[in-house]
Chains A and B, each alone.
Chain A
Amino acid sequence: MNFSLVYSAAFRWETFPHMADIGIRGFGNSPKEALEAVSFALISVITDPQKIEPQRALNICCEADSYDLILYDWLNSLIFKMATENMLFCRFDICLSLPSLQGVVWGETVDRHKHSPAVEIKGATFSELFFGQGKDGLWIAQCIVDV
């Protein structure tokens, strides 16, 4: 069985409409889980995460004093790595302890026939940027990304 298929199915994430761009949102029982989930939502803007195989790993480190700024940095780091390494990701292992985030991401080189990527993401924005707990205690990580 395809590993990425199992992995993405374990996370709760969604996209939500914005007039020009698109919103992404991830849910989890901890900040780490919500971050991992929103990372799938980010990838889903470009392609179906289930089409990606975890062939190569990259390290990503961020530092910020607040949860929302670390979410902003994390998403922008993923966007930067996708652009410069020409990759798409399907697995995100995150170790988060403010102000530090250590992440290892797995994915593969963009294959236009296999992934049929719909759109490039320019950057994560501060619009609707939220990383915190909802009333039910569930962690939510969300923002609008510029496409």
Chain B
Amino acid sequence: MEMALLEKISDYCWQIPIQGKMRVPVIIYGSEKIIQAMDQKVAEQASNVASLPGIVKASFVMPDAHWGYGFPIGGVAAYDPEEEGVISAGGVGFDISCGVRTLLTGLQEKDIQPIKNKLADLLFKEIPAGVGSHGKIYLDKEQMNKMLVGGAKWAIENGYGLQKDLSRIEEEGCMPGADPHAVSNLAKERQAREMGTLGSGNHYAEVQVVGKIFDETIAKVFSLQQGDIVVSIHCGSRGLGHQIGTDYLKEMVVCAQKLKIDLPERELACAPITSELGKRYLGAMRAGINCAFANRQIITHLIRKVFLFFFPGIEMPLLYDVSHNTCKVEKHKVNGQLKELYVHRKGATRAYGPNQQEIPEDYRTVGQPVLIGGSMGTHSYILVGTTQSERLAFSSAVHGAGRAMSRSKALKEWKGKEIIRSLEEKGIIIRAVSERGVAEEAPLAYKDVSDVVEAAHKADLAKLVARLDPLICIKG
């Protein structure tokens, strides 16, 4: 990104002042090194986001941002319904509520070393992953609608998990306001056989060891100790979310044209929050969030079954579950006044600081766990939300490493087999459907996640708690 365009506010905060059609400035978080490496298109897209009606405060860019479509990935923007604010399908993305959840195991690395390969094989066998994989669950229309309303709660009622899991999921695993009738039959058809599937691309299930603790006090609250084994799942709302994105993006393009909303590019297609289309999309998007909750809950169940096979009697409580691609109604202070806003987080995580009612009671005094997924073979991180983040970016933080290289370039640079072998030499087992897929997801095709979380930490968006190192990675 051209630094000449930016005004420096602090070492980790930069601004693009209001210009052209922008209604608010763009605020970019990150070190100079990270922002220099960020593609120029991020500045352009974030400025476009700043031009949409009803935007409040600023168009925010997280340190892991990269060029998306319409909104940048790693973009945060809040719109006020009282100021003709909009909701944008492109501002949520196709993979609605894609997110990360982490499970505690109570095991140590030495416990799994003797069975590491067998554990990897069984996880790969039991978790449906990759193109053309279907789960063992088929949902008819009635069950589909119930799942879309109930989310993880529905999954648990149907035997996939523990009641106590719910308190450790955003929205307690069940997003209110979901409207299954706002979800097309095509979306439901696409999802019918995809419950409990991982998907492909950057989605994974990973067995990790806690490699480093940065904050002993908070780590203790999160039940994390150095050397502990945890399991993380990164996936989303699968075909249902993708189809909701497709359906509503098209409808919003037509709507924006009719309402003469000035769109710098069509991917910013949106509808007024108070419009019939806006409300319908919200109902469908919330159903998509519930689908992601249910999906991650079923995968959790499959993982627990595998671990139970090797470790009879093991309990695997949920640490937390966070979503990345959402639009949520939240109350935030704007010019000293508390307002109800529609906060779009596309490739960004909610990161509430301490004392928020929405956080599980156990964590309320310290803040919300913020789970940052790494790329295959790299570290992942656990952070905690800060009080400052409310003022800085509507309580938002980074979501992952963010891509640094296109898939085409990654394919030219690496071979899947070589990556699998080199990771194995480092003690990381990869099980994947496609070698080409592994090459496209090569660790070096992503930004350095450690740099990204350090920037988030130093910018006060969230604070470092623990580093997770991969041992087994199941890829789609």
Contact = CB atoms under 8 A, between A and B. Distances in A.
B39 A119 contact: no
Nearest to A126: B266
A123 B66 contact: no
B200 interface: yes
A20 B239 contact: no
A83 B190 contact: yes
Interface of A: 15-22, 46, 69, 72-73, 76, 79-80, 83-84, 86, 109-110, 112, 116-120, 122-127, 129, 144, 146-147
Contact of B200 (A72, A120, A144): A120
Contacts of A122: 94-95, 242, 245
A20 to B, nearest CB: 5
13 contacts: A18-B406, A20-B67, A22-B406, A86-B134, A112-B130, A119-B131, A120-B200, A120-B201, A125-B94, A126-B269, A146-B95, A146-B242, A147-B200
B407 A17 contact: yes
Given A118-B436, A120-B200, A126-B266, A46 B131 contact: yes
Contacts of B67: 18-20
A51 to B, nearest CB: 12
Given A17-B407, A126-B267, A119 B200 contact: yes
Nearest to B441: A119
B54 interface: no
B409 A17 contact: yes
Contacts of B405: 19
A1 B368 CA distance: 60
B430 to A, nearest CB: 15
Interface residues on B, range: 35 or more
A119 B132 CA distance: 10
B421 interface: no
B249 A125 contact: yes
Given A112-B132, A120-B131, A122-B94, A146 B250 contact: no
B63 interface: no
B408 interface: yes
A110 B132 contact: yes
A147 B407 contact: yes
B69 A126 contact: yes
B80 interface: no
Contact of A129 (B131, B132, B239, B266): B266
B106 to A, nearest CB: 34
B47 interface: no
Contacts of B408: 15-17, 22
B403 interface: yes
B308 interface: no
Nearest to B402: A20
Contacts of A126: 69-70, 249, 253, 265-267, 269
Interface in B182-218: 186, 189-190, 192, 194, 199-201
B459 interface: no
A114 B245 CA distance: 31
A87 B242 CA distance: 18
Looking at B246, B266, B405, the one whose CB has the most chain A CB atoms below 10 A away is B246
Contacts of A118: 131, 200, 434, 436-437, 440
B76 interface: no
Interface string B132-174: 1010000000000000000000000000000000000000000
Contacts of A84: 189-190, 192, 239
B433 interface: yes
A58 B405 CA distance: 36
A72 B94 contact: no
A144 B437 CA distance: 18
B32 interface: no
A101 to B, nearest CB: 15
A46 B265 CA distance: 27
Nearest to A128: B69
Contacts of B266: 126, 129
Interface in B33-47: 39, 41
Given A84-B190, A118-B440, A125 B267 contact: yes
Given A112-B132, A122-B95, A20 B73 contact: yes
A3 to B, nearest CB: 22
Contacts of A46: 131
B271 to A, nearest CB: 15
Contacts of A83: 190, 194, 239
B317 interface: no
Nearest to B241: A122
A123 B190 CA distance: 12
